[in-house]
């Protein structure tokens, strides 16, 4: 149906009036949860400068949501190395240690978990935004999987469809972002697009005299204001220089990453603002501090007990996984 009277949606309106938004989910990052929660049915846009850690953050979200909510994710990652490298990164995050140092039971646990929660796309293929989401649907149909999230990283890997948009980048971006919004709603899914920011003019720090690039505003993402106009949840990833200081005068740490929630929609999922989190390279995951200043790694609660998936992993599950056709390319 292309239009509605109130009577067509009155029961839904009454339910929303009584309950508001429901089924809001944790990001698995304590400091970020103080600002937002995740809601399926709406896209997530992640932006940042090159080498700011955008992919690292998105992979963290994906593994956290697999652990906490049993969510399954389809990933295109054109800058993450070969497919096996991407799988290795996900396994490393799950284990919180290098794969070669894991025990055999830990390896079985991780292999089965990653196999049943993640599908990696062949990023040597070219995609329009529509053909990518068609492939997601194809994978669901062939594998019997319902994806809760998808990732396309980076956005500039998409075919710009010159024949359709006549080289008008702003119209191409607006069309692609609308398509992402539509498929998220249709499939009750969080579709994540990862993009770069526009060039930011370097500034001189008055204390150190060193040059740095400031955080980009929401209208300074690559391609113009379309991201700000079309966006629902927009998060900027920023790695501050260690010679800079925060608003309290504290120097930034060498492993510190700032997440700036620049837009928060739909109404009710959270608020805009900035948080810091810190990368532990030994565990390959982030930690942050909650409202009680307790240091918490991803998926840890404030009583320091990690939340774990409730599946029973066995040798037979590894054998089941190995039965999957190794020649299948998605």
Q: What is the pLDDT of residue 302?
A: 65
Residue 314, in any domain of the structure: no
Residue 310, in any domain of the structure: no
3-state secondary structure of 57: helix
The CATH code of the domain that includes 265 is 3.40.50.300
- Through-space distance between the first and last CA atoms of the chain, rounded to whole angstroms: 34
CA–CA gap between residue 45 and residue 29 (Å, rounded): 17
Q: What is the pLDDT of residue 325?
A: 47
Residue 169 in contact with residue 159, Cβ under 8 Å? Answer: no
Residue 3, in any domain of the structure: no
Q: The pTM is what?
A: 0.88
Residue 164, in any domain of the structure: yes
List, run by run, the mean pLDDT of 10-residue segments along the chain (330 residues).
88 81 89 95 96 97 97 96 96 97 97 98 95 98 97 95 85 94 97 96 95 96 90 96 94 97 92 97 95 91 54 49 50
Query: How are beta strands 44-48 and 190-196 bridged, if at all?
Result: parallel
Residue 158, in any domain of the structure: yes
Residue 278, in any domain of the structure: yes
E strands present in 13-83: 44-48, 73-77
Largest CA distance in the chain: 64
The length of the chain in residues reads 330
Total domains, the chain: 1
Residue 149 in contact with residue 62, Cβ under 8 Å? Answer: yes
3-state secondary structure of 235: strand
Domain that holds residue 117: 29-305
Sign of the torsion formed by the C-alpha atoms of 69, 75, 78 and 80: positive
Q: What is the pLDDT of residue 96?
A: 97
């Amino acid at each position: 149906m292309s239009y509605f009277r109130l009577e067509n949606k009155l029961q839904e309106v009454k339910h929303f009036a009584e309950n508001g938004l429901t089924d809001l989910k944790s990001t698995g990052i304590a400091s970020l949860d103080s600002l937002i929660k995740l809601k399926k049915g709406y896209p997530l846009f992640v932006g940042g400068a090159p080498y700011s850690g955008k992919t690292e953050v998105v992979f963290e979200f994906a593994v956290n949501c697999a652990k906490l909510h049993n969510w399954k994710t389809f990933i295109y990652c054109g800058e993450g190395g070969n497919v096996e490298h991407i799988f290795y990164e996900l396994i490393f995050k799950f284990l919180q240690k290098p794969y070669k140092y894991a025990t055999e039971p830990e390896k079985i646990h991780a292999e089965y978990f990653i196999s049943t929660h993640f599908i990696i796309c062949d990023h040597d293929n070219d995609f329009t935004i529509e053909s990518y989401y068609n492939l997601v649907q194809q994978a669901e149909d062939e594998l019997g999987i319902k994806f809760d999230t998808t990732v396309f990283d980076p956005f500039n890997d998409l075919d710009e469809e010159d024949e359709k948009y006549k080289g008008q980048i702003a119209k191409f971006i607006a069309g692609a972002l609308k398509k992402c919004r539509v498929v998220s709603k249709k499939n009750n899914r969080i579709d994540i697009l990862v993009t770069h920011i526009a060039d930011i003019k370097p500034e001189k720090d008055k204390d150190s005299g060193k040059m740095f690039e400031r955080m980009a505003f929401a209208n300074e993402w690559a391609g113009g204001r379309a991201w700000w106009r079309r966006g629902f949840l927009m998060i900027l990833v920023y790695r501050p220089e260690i010679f800079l200081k925060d608003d309290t005068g504290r120097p930034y740490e060498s492993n510190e990453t700032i997440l700036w929630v620049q837009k928060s929609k739909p109404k009710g999922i959270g608020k805009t603002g900035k948080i810091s989190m810190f990368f532990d390279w030994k565990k390959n995951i982030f930690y942050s501090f909650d409202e009680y200043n307790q240091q918490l790694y991803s998926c840890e609660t404030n009583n320091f007990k990690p939340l774990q998936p409730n599946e029973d992993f066995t040798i037979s599950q590894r054998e089941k996984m190995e039965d999957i056709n190794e020649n299948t390319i998605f």
